[in-house]
Structure 1
């Protein structure tokens, strides 16, 4: 076997080289703006979908406007992480932002649905590279003890995008044209490109002269795309036992086996086997898969729950969802501060996750009959608990590895988070659609996606839908319990470095 870089506690990774603290804030500001653009594009499109379908005269393929972006962004995360370990963070961040802007321009000019879907895939490929690269740069310039505070700031960007995105998307679509949701990205992206270019010239370089394992990367990308397609179409477009879904799953499984063999035998594998063999890293991948995956899954099914069981209007449901986003953001920020300051940092998620599990069990026990204020409070408490896993999984993973592996490790962690979201969404949707016959459930989801629930008799069938969502919440509690077990089992390696003295920008 060829020697591999150690990641275990017997060989503590070297801390990052000293970095001028005066330069931290401009670097972080540039990264936050780039991350904001990526997050905003995931939320600004939804209010424009109906107008896009009418304008391009193609409602049947409308879901691909969202799906193409998510598929492309998911497979891009480990690829950009690996490339940044080889060619440097600045070069890959500039390429990611440039691809995102090129995709935005193509989306704005798209004359047909097919062109728009292809442009969204290009946009998603660039956007998918921004988050792991930003997290990796933070790891390059700060010690593990300093990172949680700054890593948690990304949650603020996502909260802001989650709130402003739908508002901006609706306003631009109603008063201008749906294409402006993409045009607006160009000036914002140009500013982000200039800021990151200037700021990232200051960061240290941990890249090494390696070759990209193109075969391994291709195997992983194709295997992931086939799996994600099966999870997106299963139970909605095709039955789970249909030839199309079985063929996609079988082909993906074969390619995953080939990928595993490739990283075991390649001279310079795409993902170093030592990374996945480290129990700490493997447990953090599992914790991110189930915890962050649950958050992603709930973002899809909770709007259905709010309308079908509680009978809320779109605006009422939006307020409840904002409460959940605020909760996860506050949980992430609080966890960042605590992890940076307490030596027994595992206690942060181990104290918080039971709150989320308890809230899910409460909703499972009583899924119906909640007021807007009551369900909003439940969602805030729920978010406070699970939000701690955002900085925890990132920082603990980066604390265990060598600086020249930061990119691929962070990209792989984000890949498993997104993959967990796709699989958990499929589980939740399968539970909800299990209460329908034939294609009735798929038509319901299409109606909700296209019309925001208009035309449904809100809350009239709560007695029918409530038992379905009871099992959704039981499943969510189970997934978080698995994530909690992973946190319990992980080794609590000391965080290196002092608590940061850099104050956040005013």
Structure 2
């Protein structure tokens, strides 16, 4: 037995130290010897074309996100259902949450190009349906269809970039990709407001469709990433996808969020059979999800073996919390300027520009720092402190806060969020084996999108509950409930109210949104605590070093098991 172990150990040592370990991915692989293979670094030209195709879709996805955030008030007012406007974000992000982890598996089955084309197709169909939706309910459903594709755009882009770029340089390329994301997010707010003010909110959706078609063509022509030959057929791999795990996950999140929304937005009591029934469904679905992932799924959508590891667990929890904050800010800052400062949709969207510019700068800085130092732990801790500071500043906004102060206060939040997202993604990839990379990336985006869903829905539900309470304290009389209903359903009615009622409405909105900002600061502190256990791992600077590190890790795992 000891001789066998010694032989295996020697073999692993030779594999790990080989100067030319076998290749895993390449863009244009050359014919290989039967006896050996070598790592093929893709050319700069190949990488540029691949990333151009991927990043065009990322840009459009980010553009759509801030367009919708800016249009919540006019859409809600148009349908006279402003209290349901947050559902537009919730439905989209809930759908993203469901489909994001599936794209990790689909990218292996359909290939990187096939998975991305599927994502863009669904996103385009959903966006087009948004532009022609006849009701708020139809618009919410269309956003859910768009989310089926949106869940794959960022995930497949990230997986493909990791295929092609050594880990130490990966953060810089992630930062460059986030510049495209930041540009899209920055243009989406003012573009959405401008189009709404001149052509109506429907055109803000329809104008995206031609650009999505161009992105589809660019991906189809230029994204060519060759995967290693798999032993299983596409049908066998498709059947191994964890459909039950995905279904129970979406049932868990969806039922709980719907219960909370009905309680806060529609005035249901906790004891109401509908609310309590939804909470019960959520609990049962959660238990079923944990059982499926632990005991039943062949290839679980959320492998517990990864989440039981220190760094994957810490990065997942921290990403969930920071995503809650980021999307709560994204949807509540424009609402603040629209309802409290009485700005137009265009001006409210413009207020997100510093945040979007900071996202681009934060991503690039994080990538540059990791490429230069090969470290990420201190970067992660410092950037989450920036997020905390930004939310403390937001919670201090009042009627005396100068305009320039409001422009600057959101900058640290965008910079910190982008840097934190970049560094934790690299930390997660560095902590797992090569064969777990795609699913680990899917898990990272799963926790992010879950946090985004929670950020939009919980902040919207909590804000509406606070708003209702504050309005009832300030507005009394025989017609008070009808006036309160109109104020909650449409922010455009506020300027038409009498001075006393207008002040009551503005003060109620200001206090409600400020309470949300205080809660964001509390969540940011929890994110800081969650990020402390993240481990520092060496970041290889070339594909050869990365392959050698993967071999070393594969060999270390059996030795660790035998030692225990």
Instruction: Give me the TM-score of the superposition, normalised by structure 1.
Output: 0.83
Of the two, which has the highest radius of gyration? 2
The count of corresponding residues between Structure 1 and Structure 2 is 488
- 2 CA distance for matches of 1:151 and 1:468? 36
* Cα distance change, pair 444–277 in 1 and its aligned pair in 2 (3 A): farther
* Cα distance change, pair 305–396 in 1 and its aligned pair in 2 (3 A): same
* Cα distance change, pair 371–172 in 1 and its aligned pair in 2 (3 A): closer
Does residue 163 (structure 1) correspond to residue 186 (structure 2)? The answer is yes
Report what 2:519 is aligned to.
475
- 1 CA distance for matches of 2:450 and 2:516? 18
Residue 285 (structure 1) aligned to one of 316, 322, 331: 316
SS for the counterpart of 1:491 is coil
Does residue 256 (structure 1) correspond to residue 279 (structure 2)? The answer is no
SS for the counterpart of 1:340 is helix
| Contact 2:81-2:490 at 8 Å conserved across structures | no
Does residue 37 (structure 1) correspond to residue 66 (structure 2)? The answer is no
| Contact 2:79-2:135 at 8 Å conserved across structures | yes
* Cα distance change, pair 222–306 in 1 and its aligned pair in 2 (3 A): same
TM-aligned CA deviation for residue 162 of structure 1: 2.6
* Cα distance change, pair 336–227 in 1 and its aligned pair in 2 (3 A): farther
- 2 CA distance for matches of 1:104 and 1:386? 27
TM-aligned CA deviation for residue 205 of structure 1: 4.7
- 1 CA distance for matches of 2:275 and 2:431? 38
TM-aligned CA deviation for residue 151 of structure 1: 1.2
Specify every segment of 5 or more residues in structure 2 that has no aligned partner in the other structure, as ranges: 1-14, 26-39, 473-483, 545-564
TM-aligned CA deviation for residue 363 of structure 1: 4.5
Residue 446 (structure 1) aligned to one of 483, 486, 489: 489
Does residue 385 (structure 1) correspond to residue 401 (structure 2)? The answer is no
TM-aligned CA deviation for residue 280 of structure 1: 0.8
RMSD: 3.7
Report what 2:253 is aligned to.
224
TM-aligned CA deviation for residue 131 of structure 1: 1.2
- 2 CA distance for matches of 1:105 and 1:362? 38
- 2 CA distance for matches of 1:483 and 1:59? 31
Bigger CA drift: 484-493 or 200-209?
200-209
Report what 1:434 is aligned to.
466
TM-aligned CA deviation for residue 313 of structure 1: 6.1
- 1 CA distance for matches of 2:83 and 2:359? 34
Report what 1:3 is aligned to.
none
Residue 20 (structure 1) aligned to one of 42, 62, 81: 42
Report what 2:362 is aligned to.
331
- 2 CA distance for matches of 1:459 and 1:227? 35
SS for the counterpart of 1:369 is coil
Does residue 123 (structure 1) correspond to residue 152 (structure 2)? The answer is no
| Contact 1:43-1:166 at 8 Å conserved across structures | yes
TM-aligned CA deviation for residue 332 of structure 1: 2.2
Report what 1:199 is aligned to.
222
- 1 CA distance for matches of 2:343 and 2:134? 36
- 2 CA distance for matches of 1:231 and 1:403? 40
TM-aligned CA deviation for residue 170 of structure 1: 4.3
Specify every segment of 5 or more residues in structure 1 that has no aligned partner in the other structure, as ranges: 1-10, 501-506
Q: Kindly provide the CA deviation profile for residues 174-206 of structure 1, in whole angstroms up to 9, marking residues without a partner as x.
A: 555654434433322222112212332234458
Does residue 407 (structure 1) correspond to residue 455 (structure 2)? The answer is no
| Contact 1:140-1:204 at 8 Å conserved across structures | no
* Cα distance change, pair 481–85 in 1 and its aligned pair in 2 (3 A): farther
Does residue 496 (structure 1) correspond to residue 524 (structure 2)? The answer is no
Instruction: Give me the TM-score of the superposition, normalised by structure 2.
Output: 0.75
* Cα distance change, pair 427–14 in 1 and its aligned pair in 2 (3 A): farther
Report what 1:375 is aligned to.
406
